[in-house]
Amino acid sequence: MATPERHVRLFRNGRNQALRIPREFELEGDEAIIRKEGDRLIVEPVRKGRLLALLDKLDSIEEPFPDVDEDLPPLDDEGR
């Protein structure tokens, strides 16, 4: 399915250029990141806390963490 398009008017808001975002293009949250790629503006919502929410839903790991140092020589022997 093709991305819908809408023509919008640009206007001035103080010293800034602005546009009204039509309802079907609304972003979640109250912050966004904007960047310019050539003559295009890319606007993305700031998604806060999503990783923490995902990690909170995961089950705890019951198995012990492996000893990653077990095959290494003692620190005293390094560099000799």
> For residue 3, is pLDDT > 60?
yes
What does residue 52 show for φ and ψ, rounded to 5 degrees?
-65, -40
pLDDT at residue 78 in the model? 55
- Domain membership of residue 78 (yes or no) is no
- Domain membership of residue 66 (yes or no) is no
In 3D space, the residue among 31, 33, 5, 7 whose CA is nearest the CA of residue 19 turns out to be 7
**pTM of the predicted model over 0.75:** no
- Domain membership of residue 2 (yes or no) is no
8 Å CB contact between 80 and 74: no
- Domain membership of residue 69 (yes or no) is no
pLDDT at residue 7 in the model? 92
Domain that holds residue 18: 7-56
pLDDT at residue 77 in the model? 56
- Domain membership of residue 34 (yes or no) is yes
- Domain membership of residue 44 (yes or no) is yes
- The count of domains in the chain is 1
- Domain membership of residue 62 (yes or no) is no
pLDDT tens, 9-56?
Answer: 999 999 999 999 999 999 988 899 999 999 999 999 988 877 888 888
> For residue 1, is pLDDT > 80?
no
